[in-house]
Amino acid sequence: MLNHELLIAILLLSPLLGFFINGIRFRSSNYLIAGAVATVAVGISFVSAVLLFLQLVDLSPENRRLAVSFFEWMAIDKLRVNAGFVVDQISGIMILIITGVGTLIHLFSVGYMHHDKGVTKYFAYLNLFIFNMLILVLGDSLLTMFVGWEGVGLCSYLLIGFWFSDSAKAAAGMKAFITNRIGDAAFILGMFILFFTFGTLNIHELNGLAPTLVESSWLGAVTLGTLMLFIGATGKSAQIPLYVWLPDAMAGPTPVSALIHAATMVTAGVYMIVRLNPIFIVAPNTMMVIAIIGAATAVLAATIGLTQYDIKKVLAYSTVSQLGYMFLAVGVGAFGAGMFHLMTHAFFKALMFLGSGSVIHGMHEEQDIRKMGGLKKYMPITHFTFLLGWLAIIGIPPFAGFFSKDEILWLAFSSPSGHWALWAAGALGAALTAFYMTRLMALTFWGKSRVDKKVHPHESGLTMTIPLMVLGLLSIVGGWIGIPHVIGEYLGHIPNYWEHWLEPVIKKLPTSDAIVSHQTSTEWALMGASVLIASISAITAYWMYVVRPGSSEKIKKAIRPVYEVVNNKYWVDEAYFSWIINPLIQTSKSLWYYIDVNFIDKMTFKVADMAMGGGSFLKVLQNGNMQQYAMYIGVGVVVVLSFVLMR
């Protein structure tokens, strides 16, 4: 068996090699070679990830940690950072998701991007994205993690603005890049605070040095440090107030959306908090902020999803909402539930994004769901697999999303850091999700066809449908490894494998014993309530858009003022421009005019004029007149002799 050092090296370097191979030949338009190189590169990484995971399984639970340090990267006074990487229970799950789902997305891209002139460059960027995401999740220090953190930010900019000749798409890439830089500045501040507090940036050492007593002050070092890190997470994982970039990220090719939204970048913030869970537990104020922001984001984004007609933007706001659920989970201390939803979401959201890509491909680049309808008869595989993703995301048992979503809702209610209001927000988000996702299914696949007669929908090829089928299967069975105890006991003592796997690396809340067995009936009741709410919401949407398709317009007219607010996305982008961006631009212009032009430039010109004037005066002394030089010498001699005699 290959040792873990070699496997980690192969895991990291394989997509990097794919990037270099396709990067060198980026002008090539041979999509088969480019796609094969990129897909095989990520496939090799996936095999390495599986072998590393199997090695972890063979170790005892308390020793499940495979570490390697390739070289010392940085040594500045007390700061020592190695190029070190760690595979444990948390990062082991992440590398399987990144490389497994990533391989399927690469394979899908072979069929989806075959017509694009920049296909080789596209696959090079896609491989580089995978490489940087692996750096992020495997890094053994916050600084190494930050290298991958910035790397995926760069790749997202390159891929979102891939079709940069379109100014709107180029602007979307810049918006994503700049918004994330705001969060990243806070992340850096958080690293500084934690380093000066604990003297290290090594994640394992930081977790080991976490205080035993919680920090009640808002100005405590741990609270401030974790708050800064969370602000960084709001940028990368699109939470209030830095969520605005993610819906516009739909400007890139659809497989890019699947990669960013499902398997990699946007989950980085959740992963970072789970990785540092012993540190975050010490800061209950930070945890409370995380839970509230997560719940608010889940509801806000879901409401916006109700009014969108671009198939990709509906899914984009869905992603923002589902990420809100993950932050709600980690905010109440349910780190395992947050990671669980991260994994199941990767399956069904990658499926739905790739499914939307299949629809767009079959509809000849049409993305408006008002111009679709009845596509299930033209695209049976895409419809059936998308149906599986729909059942998973709205939380119908026994699909994957049911187990992870209801675990979050239950712990949001019952956790020592939970509250009934957080459960209510989560339940409302679930109802909204069921409604707008059913609306998406109805307008795209069901009901009467509204397809233009000039468009001839068709099913996608095997390179695109095979990934859909694999992800469809995972959307069914992906949640079965985390069956809640109340259901497991009912089904014959089926253990919660997910909980047992993460238990050694997830620190429990100080009062977690408050969740006791006599609450079983409450858990069943809340579980039933959430499924019932989602079912009623889905049935209502089906009735409005399939059975009585005209009723939605009547309701829209009846609540026109509210609809306009939601349809305009609460004017958040406009508010940012009015209150922040434009004032900054005007202030910058004023500073440029009064400070740069009228002060610095004029002072520079005056100094230059003085130098030129002095030079003009001194050049008179250098005129080549020998008699004048002799006079200067004579005057000099007289001055020197006078000075000597006076002494």
The answer to whether the beta carbons of residues 519 and 414 sit under 8 Å apart is yes
Residue predicted with more confidence, 305 or 490? 305
Confidence of residue 182 (pLDDT cuts 50, 70, 90): very high
* Residue 508 identity (one-letter amino acid): K
Alpha carbon 440 to its chain's center: 23
Confidence of residue 516 (pLDDT cuts 50, 70, 90): very low
Boundaries of every domain in the chain: 1-140, 158-413+423-497+518-567, 580-646
Q: How far is CA 193 from CA 80, 142, 209, 276, in A?
A: 16, 12, 14, 14
Confidence of residue 510 (pLDDT cuts 50, 70, 90): low
pLDDT tens digits along 87-116 = 999 999 999 999 999 999 999 999 998 888
Q: How far is CA 293 from CA 132, 270, 425, in A?
A: 27, 13, 11
User: Taking all residues of the chain, what is their mean pLDDT, rounded to a whole number?
Assistant: 90
pLDDT tens digits along 365-398 = 889 999 998 999 999 999 999 999 999 999 999 9
Confidence of residue 523 (pLDDT cuts 50, 70, 90): confident
Cα separation of 212 and 193, whole Å?
19
CA 181-247-346 angle, 5° bins: 90
Confidence of residue 514 (pLDDT cuts 50, 70, 90): very low
pLDDT at 149: 94
Q: Which residue has the tokens 């390179």?
A: 463
3-class SS string, 28-60: CCCHHHHHHHHHHHHHHHHHHHHHHHHHHHHCC
Residues 6+ apart with CB under 8 A from 292: 331, 422
pLDDT tens digits along 575-585 = 998 998 899 88
* Residue 299, token pair as written in the block: 């509801």
Q: What is the mean pLDDT of residues 176-193?
A: 93
Q: How far is CA 636 from CA 186, 235, 619, 640, in A?
A: 65, 72, 19, 6
pTM for the predicted model, two decimal places = 0.90
Q: Is the peptide bond before 284 cis (omega within 30 degrees of 0)?
A: no
pLDDT tens digits along 253-294 = 989 988 887 777 888 999 999 999 999 999 999 999 999 999
Q: What is the mean pLDDT of residues 431-455?
A: 92
The answer to whether the beta carbons of residues 274 and 335 sit under 8 Å apart is yes
pLDDT tens digits along 43-80 = 999 999 999 999 999 999 888 999 999 988 888 888 88
The answer to whether the beta carbons of residues 442 and 390 sit under 8 Å apart is no
Q: What is the mean pLDDT of residues 460-471?
A: 93
Query: What sign results for the dihedral spanned by CA atoms 608, 611, 615, 617?
Result: positive
